[in-house]
């Protein structure tokens, strides 16, 4: 998460209007869902990689690591779709094997369905990874504010995001303090120490929320967390990319 956040602040399109980046990401996600072919899903993922590396200037390895993590979850998720389990040998199967009393098999139909699902999910996940790695959370919250989401929800998102990092620091300090007193020397100790960290973090969150409330009040904060909206750049290339994504994905859907 920290890496994703770091890249979100340090990429070539940091200053580009988050609406442009979000539209490109949502377009790819929607097209990969609607067009629903393995090739369109893969094309959406390729577009995400191309934009992330070519437009945003993200390091290929960093983007690949994020997408690989998502791919692992997707593959684990579609295994159940590809493989059938039955008490008798399947009538039609590309392959089957016996594990105890059960027969595991996969057919061309189930493989195709799994591939379709995986490609569709990968296309959507890669599109959102591009957005997450090129757009800081603060810009996304600003975008949601422009979309008139309830202020209370946005305030909660702002404070939650900010305090994730504060509490992570606190947690690291607590763990180091416990480790220095052999807090993780055995499984039993580790479990007890982890539980203590959880409790202390809860208390710390509560105390911090009270101190934050005081600090906000001292600066005149009464209802909502009003801050200046950031000024963004409009990049015409995003329109070109949008048109190209739309055309290429429809074309692939028609051809394959």
Partner 1 sequence: MTVELELRSVTYHYPGQSQPALKDVTLGTSGGRRIALLGRNGSGKSTLLLACNGIVRPQSGGVYLDCRPVAYDHASLCRLRRTVGVVFQNPDDQLFSASVAEDISFGPLNLGLSDGEARDRVATAAELCEITHLLDKPTHALSGGEKTRVALAGVLAMDVEILIADEALAGLDPWMRHQVMEIFDKLSAQGKTIVLATHDIGLARAWADTVVLMEGGTVCAVQPAAVFFANPGLVARINPFDL
Q: Which stretch in 77-85, 123-131, 144-152, 210-218 sits in contact with partner 1 by CB under 8 A?
A: 210-218
- 220 forms part of the interface with partner 1 (CB under 8 A): yes
Long-range CB contacts (< 8 A, 24+ apart) of 146-155? 146/19, 146/229, 151/224, 152/224, 154/225, 155/224, 155/225
| 151 part of the interface to partner 1, by CB under 8 A | no
Residue 168 vs 244, nearer CB to partner 1: 168
Single out the segment in contact with partner 1 by CB under 8 A; choices: 97-105, 131-139, 145-153, 177-185.
131-139
Write the DSSP symbol of residue 229. Answer: P
Using rule CB under 8 A, residue 95 touches partner 1: no
| 172 scored as a contact of partner 1 (CB under 8 A) | no
Query: Which CA distances in Å does 68 have to 5, 60, 71, 125?
Result: 17, 12, 5, 10
How many residues at the interface with partner 1, by CB under 8 A? 32
Question: Is residue 62 within the footprint of partner 1 (CB under 8 A)?
Answer: no
Q: Is 138 in the site for partner 1 (CB under 8 A)?
A: yes
Question: Between the CA of residue 15 and those of 43, 52, 63, 77, 245, what are the distances in Å?
Answer: 26, 15, 19, 36, 22
Binder among 218, 236, 254, 255 for partner 1 (CB under 8 A): 218
Least CB distance from residue 17 to partner 1, whole Å?
Answer: 15
- In the complex, the smallest distance separating the C-beta of residue 160 from partner 1, rounded to whole angstroms, is 10
Decide: is 214 part of the binding site for partner 1 (CB under 8 A).
yes
The closest of 5, 14, 74 to 41, measured between CA atoms, is 74
Angle at 137 between CA 132 and CA 138, to 5 degrees: 145
Q: Of 37, 22, 51, which is closest to residue 250 (Cα–Cα)?
A: 37
Backbone conformation region of residue 174, classed left if phi is above 0, alpha if psi is from -120 to 50, else beta: alpha
Binding of residue 5 to partner 1 (CB under 8 A): yes
DSSP 8-state class, residue 236: T
Smallest separation (angstroms) from partner 1 to the CB of 71: 28
Binding range to partner 1, per CB under 8 A, among 35-43, 193-201, 208-216, 240-248:
208-216
Determine the Cα–Cα distance for residues 155 and 47; give it in Å rounded to an integer. 33
Positions touching partner 1 (CB under 8 A) are 5-6, 9, 14, 136-138, 141, 158-159, 161-162, 165-166, 208, 211-212, 214-222, 225-230
């Amino acid at each position: 998460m920290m890496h994703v956040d770091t890249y979100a602040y340090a990429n070539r399109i940091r200053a580009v209007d988050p609406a442009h980046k979000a539209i490109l990401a949502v377009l790819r996600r929607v097209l990969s869902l609607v067009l629903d072919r393995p090739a369109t899903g893969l094309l959406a993922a390729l577009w995400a990689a191309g934009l992330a590396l070519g437009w945003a200037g993200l390091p290929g390895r960093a983007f690949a690591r994020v997408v690989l993590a998502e791919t692992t979850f997707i593959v684990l998720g579609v295994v159940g779709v590809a493989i059938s389990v039955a008490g008798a040998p399947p009538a039609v199967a590309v392959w089957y094997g016996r594990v105890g009393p059960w027969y595991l098999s996969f057919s061309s139909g189930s493989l195709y369905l799994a591939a379709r699902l995986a490609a569709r999910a990968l296309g959507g996940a890669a599109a959102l990874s591009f957005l997450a790695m090129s757009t800081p959370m603060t810009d996304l919250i600003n975008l949601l504010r422009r979309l008139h989401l309830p202020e209370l929800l946005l305030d909660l998102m702002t404070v939650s995001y900010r305090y994730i990092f504060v509490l992570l620091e606190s947690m690291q300090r607590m763990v180091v303090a416990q480790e220095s007193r052999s807090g993780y020397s055995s499984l039993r100790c580790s479990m007890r120490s982890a539980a203590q960290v959880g409790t202390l973090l809860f208390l710390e969150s509560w105390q911090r929320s009270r101190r934050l409330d005081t600090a906000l009040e001292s600066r005149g904060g009464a209802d909502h967390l009003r801050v200046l909206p950031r000024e963004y750049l409009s990049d015409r290339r995003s329109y070109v990319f949008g048109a190209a994504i739309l055309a290429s994905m429809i074309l692939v859907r028609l051809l394959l």
